[in-house]
Chains A and B, each alone.
Chain A
Amino acid sequence: MNEQAVRKLTAEILAGIAPEADLATVTDSEDLREALDLDSMDFLNFAIALGEKTGIKIPEADMGHLRTLKGLLAYLVR
């Protein structure tokens, strides 16, 4: 996936989890859980959806990469 695709997918999934949130106001290094008020169930649902849409197996140890847009880009852009 390229950067554009990762950003688009992230925005789509998060719109389903936190519909009132505006991802455009979140900076790349901000913690998504803080910025969008995601609880641990929201964050798990985010990881599940991300794994389903990309086909990537996301091990528990890699969950930290999902916390910021910057981390997501580094993790998913190939």
Chain B
Amino acid sequence: MADFRMPALGADMDTGKVVQWLVSPGDTVRSGDVIAVVETHKGAIDVECFLEGVIDDLAALDVELPVGALLAHVRAPGEAIATGPAPACATAAAPPAPRPAPPASEVTLPAAPASPSSDRARISPAARRRAKELGVDPTRLQGTGTDGALTVADVELAAVRRAPGAPSRKGGFDPAQMRLAIAAAMSRSKREIPHYYLTATIDFGPASAWLAAYNGCRDPADRLLPAVLLLKATAVALAEVPQLNGFHEDGAYRPGAGIHVGWAIALRGGGLVAPALRDADRLPLPALMASLRDLIGRARASGLRSSELTDPTITVTSLGDRGAESVLGVIYPPQVAIVGFGRVVERPWVVDGALVVRPLVVATLAADHRCSDGRLGGQFLAALDRALQSPEQL
């Protein structure tokens, strides 16, 4: 029997609260299934379980629990039922029905913010999936199934009855709590990590021209933002200089398995979250753009998955077209580097001895001196510059 515990969704999380179970005792879970909604200072997060078997002994809802607290037991397939205090009827009856793991690209439904008084209905996995597809909030529905459980039919009926209009976006996080958590993580970073900083001004002309040609003939939905080129170029440069892509743990550097770029996303109402775009060095630009759009949408709607908060191997903060000219970041521990991009600005620039006007972007690197030196950081910024001079190869 394995224990499913409260995950640590980043260095700044101490406690969390299960606000919804998406499985019932006796359900079969597969590795990667989203099985619970946990409320954290980053909002409500869809928590995946990487165990396989029959789940039981679910922890109570709405109780603040520390990271590592026992949330449920998962019995391996074929394993005998434990002779414990758990009531036998809770586990013996339900036949284990195999459920397909959700595809990685599936958009998860924004989870409802916790409200202690609300009566949380059970929902079958099939109904939950249907609710996601239809954009229906299952927590607002009255179920007609056994014990008031929501069925696929309930969800479909609700979708038909729903008045047309703009989808609502829920806050789902407490700005004051998030500020405390950011303060704790950044204080730890400044206290423990000997940062060094490097800056490079990069000619964004070739990238701008390539983007204009690419976007000119496309529908808005198929266009690329400059941010995607910056993201891909960073990932490609990290493949060349992998010493900046990983973690400092227990006094030593541990390289990341894959380049999973944490993309800093500002949340409305204040606060910041930097979920992972997995394998950013390998995704083609249109796919990366789609992932980024999806990720930003879910980050702001409290629809992030737990693995997206634990996977990043580095952070990128891009200030966008209305931001400042440059940013020197604070490393998110235990990562060892953060890359910053300012706003693209038109400035005088010298090309072949002549003064010209060019779009420029200031790229910065803040890195952990316990793991690397400025020479290596310089190599990274040079690789980044090279990548942005050949946007057609990104």
Q: Interface on A for B, CB 8 Å cutoff?
A: 12-13, 15-16, 18-20, 33-34, 37, 39-41, 44-45, 47-48, 51, 57-61
Known: A19-B169, A33-B322, A39-B266. 16 other contacts (CB 8 A): A12-B165, A13-B166, A16-B167, A16-B168, A34-B322, A39-B321, A41-B292, A44-B225, A44-B293, A47-B220, A48-B219, A48-B220, A48-B221, A57-B219, A60-B216, A60-B223
> Which one of A20, A39, A45 lies within 8 Å of B269 (CB-CB)?
A20
**Closest approach, in angstroms, between the C-beta of B271 and any C-beta of chain A?**
13
B375 within 8 A of A: no
- Complex contacts, B220 vs chain A, CB 8 Å: 44, 47-48, 51, 58
Residue of A whose beta carbon sits closest to that of B216: A60
How far, in whole Å, are A42 and B347 apart by their CA atoms in the complex?
26
A48 to B219, CA, bound (A): 8
B166 touches A60 (CB 8 A): no
Contacts of A61 in B (CB 8 A): 216
Q: Is the interface of B mostly helix, strand, loop or mixed?
A: loop
Also in contact, A16 and B166, with CB within 8 A (given A39-B266, A60-B212, A60-B223): yes
Chain B, 283-308, contact with A by CB distance < 8 Å: what is the 0/1 string? 00000000011001100000000000
Chain B stretch 317-363: residues in CB contact (< 8 A) with chain A: 320-322
Please report the C-alpha to C-alpha distance between residue A12 and residue B314 in the assembled complex, in whole angstroms.
Answer: 37
User: Most chain-A CB neighbours within 10 Å: which of B165, B221, B269?
Assistant: B221
Q: Which residue of A lies closest to B225 (CB)?
A: A40
Q: Give the CA-CA distance A2 to B290 in the complex, in Å.
A: 33
Q: Within 8 Å of chain A (Cβ to Cβ): is B268? A: yes
Majority secondary structure, A binding face: helix
How far in angstroms is the closest Cβ of chain B from A23?
12
Q: Which residues of B contact A20 (CB under 8 A)?
A: 268-269
- For this complex, 11 residue pairs linking A to B, each with C-beta atoms less than 8 Å apart, are A12-B165, A16-B169, A33-B322, A40-B225, A41-B292, A41-B293, A44-B223, A47-B220, A51-B219, A58-B220, A60-B215
Q: How far, in angstroms, from A66 to B120 measured CA to CA in the complex? A: 42
Per-position binary interface string of chain B over residues 189-221, scored 1 when its CB falls under 8 Å from any chain A CB and 0 otherwise: 000000000000000000000001001111111
Interfacial chain B residues near A40, Cβ < 8 Å: 225-227, 320-321
Inter-chain CA distance A39–B322, complex, in Å, is: 7
Q: In whole angstroms, how far apart are the Cα atoms of A40 and B223 in the complex?
A: 12
Q: Who on chain A is nearest to B224 by CB? A: A44
Residues of B within 8 Å of A37, CB to CB, are 268
Given contacts A33-B322, A34-B322, contact A59 B169 (CB under 8 A): no
CA distance A69 to B223 in the complex (A): 23
Within the complex, what minimum Cβ distance (angstroms) separates B170 from chain A? 9
The 10 tightest CB contacts between A and B, nearest first, are A16-B166, A47-B220, A48-B220, A60-B215, A48-B221, A39-B320, A19-B169, A15-B166, A12-B166, A40-B321
**Considering the chains assembled together, what is the distance between the CA atoms of A40 and B344 in angstroms?**
12
Residues of chain B contacted by A34 (CB below 8 angstroms)? 322
Q: Which residue of chain A lies nearest to B214 when distances are taken between CB atoms in the complex? A: A60
A61 to B218: give the CA distance in the assembly, Å.
11
Q: How far is the CA of A15 from the CA of B266 in the complex (A)?
A: 18
Distance (whole angstroms) from the CB of B374 to the closest CB of chain A: 32
A19–B168 CA distance with the chains assembled, in angstroms: 8
Q: Could you tell me if B225 and A18 are in contact, using CB atoms closer than 8 angstroms?
A: no
Q: Are the C-beta atoms of A19 and B268 separated by less than 8 Å? A: yes
CB distance from A49 to the nearest CB of B (A): 9
User: In the assembled complex, how far is the CB of residue B223 from the closest CB belonging to chain A, in whole angstroms?
Assistant: 7
Beta-carbon contact of B322 and A41 below 8 Å: no
- Check if A41 sits within 8 Å of B296, measured CB to CB: yes
Which of A12, A13, A19, A61 counts the most B-chain CB atoms under 10 A from its CB? A19
Give the shortest distance, in Å, between B95 (CB) and chain A (any CB).
Answer: 42
Interface centre among A15, A33, A40 (most CB of B within 10 A): A40
Bound state CA distance, A34 and B320, in angstroms?
Answer: 13
Q: Tell me the complex Cα distance, A1–B217, Å.
A: 25
